[in-house]
Structure 1
């Protein structure tokens, strides 16, 4: 059985604090996947980040924890709340995927190098066959202006996204476009 995992499609990522972003079509593409899954009554799972960092646009009471309307869960669709990068830590996601008979998992969400990457890695380590819908994900430039060595030049969000997908593909996931996934 193939499940769909939608990670952190939240209003808080509309904040300018994140800086420049790649792939402005990510949400529309994710909505196409969601519509397809719903039309076939396939298992789908929503995740949202509830930040514990003071001042975060994803903090409780900010409105940033609300789902983007086009990707909001319907009544009865499972929602997992997390405060770390992985959708699996502190949630029943792994057990619920297994209970639903999910062996193959399509993942999309925000942001590619953070919660998407961490959740993909864990899903792969848990033995799920993961397809990353790379064009239904996006990265931001925030925190990319200073590298670990304090010498790196600012990084473009597209380069951040491409690097994150490249690091995942072949080891933890197989990266495909939404069109390729929907074509089956």
Structure 2
């Protein structure tokens, strides 16, 4: 079965957010590179996806220069680099057409944020008929503050309040939500042996 590795939003934008110092997988580049190396050795497709919000004036606005792959990630010639403006990697890109044209039926999903763009992409991929492996330890996320917490509190204070979801709790929730429904949960070790 033809497989593609989808690397989602492993981009410099995230390093410029106040929550990055609380990230679950600070060495995400190393983990992604392990998957990329294995995919290339097996002659599988590698597709890179960047999240962009043109005109937003945030770190996701390409005009500010942070919408680029994190240092240490290097697409080869012929590996598509797509830019999306939605949470999932399909809706605002040509990803589905690209995968279909290449006969891809199985995807490995990795990237940033575990519960947001990665999980959303995995769910949609499953709905589109792809078999999905979710590389749980090659995804990264940060704490999610309680939505009812006061909006004017600094992030570093919000992180320590009751009701804030820790990265570990978020990753566990994603594992439960996807497993057996939308994806097979795998580790980098499992996917690269």
Asked if Structure 1 and Structure 2 have the same fold, meaning a TM-score greater than 0.5 normalized by the shorter chain, the answer is yes
In the alignment, what sits opposite 2:102? 100
Aligned-partner SS, 1:88: coil
**Is the 1:34–1:71 contact (alpha carbons within 8 Å) kept by the matching residues of 2?**
no
In the alignment, what sits opposite 1:4? 5
Aligned-partner SS, 1:162: helix
Aligned-partner SS, 2:115: helix
Assess, with a 3 A threshold, how the Cα gap between structure 1 residues 164 and 83 changes in structure 2: closer, same or farther.
same
Deviation at 1:152, TM superposition (A): 6.2
Deviation at 1:39, TM superposition (A): 2.5
Instruction: Give the distance between the partners of 2:52 and 2:19, measured in 1 at CA.
Output: 16
Deviation at 1:55, TM superposition (A): 3.5
Give unpaired runs (5+ residues) of structure 2. Answer: 151-160
In the alignment, what sits opposite 2:76? 74
Paired residues in the alignment total 181
Aligned-partner SS, 2:122: helix
- Residue 23 (structure 1) aligned with residue 34 (structure 2): no
- Residue 83 (structure 1) aligned with residue 85 (structure 2): yes
Higher-Rg member (1/2): 2
Instruction: Give the distance between the partners of 1:51 and 1:164, measured in 2 at CA.
Output: 25
In the alignment, what sits opposite 1:167? 177
* TM-score of the superposed pair, with normalisation by structure 1: 0.90
Alignment map for 1:98-137 (pairs within 5 Å): 98-137=100-139
Question: For 1:49-76, what per-residue CA distance to the aligned partner results, in whole angstroms no more than 9, with x for missing partners?
Answer: 0124733212112222010132232222
* TM-score of the superposed pair, with normalisation by structure 2: 0.86
